[in-house]
Amino acid sequence: MNFPDRKPSAGSSLADWLAWLETLSPKEIDLGLDRVRAVLDRLQLKMPAHLLLVAGTNGKGSSVAMLGALLNAADYSVGSYTSPHLLRYNERVAVAGVPVTDAELVAAFAHVESVREDLSLTYFEYGTLAAMVIFAARDLDAWVLEIGLGGRLDACNAVEPTASLITNVALDHCDWLGSDVETIAVEKAGVMRQGVPTVFGSRQVPQSLLREADKSGANLVLVGRDFDYEANADGSWSWAGQDVTLPGLRRPGMQGEFQLGNAAAVLALVEAAGLESVLDPERVNRVLPHVLLPGRSQEVAAGGARWLLDVAHNPAGAAVLAETLAAAPKSGRTLGIIGILDDKDVEGIARQLNPTIDEWIAVTADSPRAIKSDELARRISNACNRPCRIAESLHQAMENARRDAAENDRILLTGSFFVIGPALGILELYSRPES
């Protein structure tokens, strides 16, 4: 990529702004929330009535999508901020589920730059502040902000939430967050505030999370104690909170049993945030079955083949994906195309998925941080004690897979957002009618 020589302006393109932001890397000594809070103070943004933070290792994107859809359906104006994106940066900043325009993002970046002065900001911090500028300008009722990394030092945590959700805690980003679940949980717990409800969405509750809740004085809302859910024999599911009960609900639209847990935690967050009126059973049944998110157990028929796309990029996510694959009826093979970044647990991911994969194909994900396909193939082969093919490119891997796939075979694409995003672009080409 050609980086601009000069700082962009309000008249620059979004591509120029993003290229410039990618060159920014504050010194380690600068890291922390003081800089972001200082810029926020200069921006003087009007905060919304409802500011909801979503943290956790896995399931954040699905949870944000369900939460935003429910609030929108209840006539709340909602801005959602997520990361990373799959195809276009604009996906990260959405109002009523619709990505904002290039012009809005450029204006927001320029506004942040106009007040930043000598304070250094990272790419993610610029993006977070720009999203807040856009949401404040729209005077929205609710902001739903997805924590990008950890919680304690994430830029989204520079504002004060009215309620928070921690979906779960598992091993990921270990170089930054710690090498065990208890240590990582402390980082996630950084979103907690005294007297503010924080929902924890998993039944496996780290002891360190409980200790941090006690220290912070947060109102911790736990599954099995303050809310619960269960799958019913007729294919429906039921949810019970502290004051609201919703029996016989239709299942979420996104595949996988774990999505029941995500949906249950979202409903608990809505109740904990004092938005009980949103939890009308007819509304919940109308909304959740239709919430879909690209790259989350997403099925696509294109190019004469059946594809399944999932952004699983840590062992916990891979384990959930393996359960989904094992539960889905199939009579043919599963070809697994995988690309992984260099800070991920390759062996852990591969071992979780291996029982469900008939043939592995390694690719280099579309990122400077990606493990090269030959190195990835070697590590997968060693971890799973079986061969792993190497593809020169994702496009070649997909072409070879669809050529080799029999009628009942399925092709899995996984390992990274930086595999799924480009794959969606290729599948879009496959779906276009020939001219």
Which pLDDT score is estimated for 199? 98
Q: Contact 43/133 with Cβ under 8 angstroms?
A: yes
Class of residue 173 by CB neighbours under 10 A (exposed 0-12, middle 13-18, buried 19+): middle
What's the CA gap between 274 and 49, in Å, rounded? 11
pLDDT, mean of residues 13-40: 84
Which residues touch 139 (CB under 8 Å, ≥6 apart)? 46, 77
The predicted-structure confidence for 160-172, as pLDDT tens digits, reads as follows 999 999 999 986 5
| Structure tokens given for 4 | 């601009």
- Report residue 1's pLDDT band, with 50, 70 and 90 as the boundaries: very low
Q: Contact 108/130 with Cβ under 8 angstroms?
A: yes
Three-state secondary structure readout of the chain: CCCCCCCCCCCCCHHHHHHHHCCCCCCHHHCCCHHHHHHHHHHCCCCCCEEEEEECCCCHHHHHHHHHHHHHHCCCCEEEECCCCCCCHHHHEEECCEECCHHHHHHHHHHHHHHHCCCCCCHHHHHHHHHHHHHHHHCCCEEEEECCCCCCCCHHHHCCCCEEEECCCCCCCHHHHCCCHHHHHHHHHHHCCCCCEEEECCCCCCHHHHHHHHHHCCEEEEECCCEEEEECCCCCEEEECCCCEEEEECCCCCCCCHHHHHHHHHHHHHHHCCCHHHCCHHHHHHHHHHCCCCCCCEEEEECCEEEEECCCCCHHHHHHHHHHHHHCCCCCCEEEEECCECCCCHHHHHHHHHHHCCEEEECCCCCCCECCHHHHHHHHHHHHCCCEEECCCHHHHHHHHHHHCCCCCEEEEECCHHHHHHHHHHHHHHHCCCC
**Residue 435 scores a pLDDT above 70:** no
The predicted-structure confidence for 344-385, as pLDDT tens digits, reads as follows 999 999 999 999 999 999 999 999 999 999 999 999 999 999
Percent of the chain with pLDDT over 90: 86
**Residue 103 scores a pLDDT above 90:** yes
What's the distance, CA 208 to chain centroid? 24
Angle of CA points 124, 60, 112, to nearest 5°: 25
- Report residue 7's pLDDT band, with 50, 70 and 90 as the boundaries: confident
Rounded to two decimals, the pTM is 0.93
What's the CA gap between 380 and 362, in Å, rounded? 8
What's the CA gap between 5 and 253, in Å, rounded? 46
The predicted-structure confidence for 230-280, as pLDDT tens digits, reads as follows 999 999 999 999 999 999 999 999 988 899 999 999 999 999 999 999 999
Which pLDDT score is estimated for 174? 56
List domains and CATH numbers for the chain: 14-290 (3.40.1190.10), 298-431 (3.90.190.20)
More confident residue, 286 or 258: 286
- Report residue 218's pLDDT band, with 50, 70 and 90 as the boundaries: very high
Q: What is the mean pLDDT of the chain?
A: 93
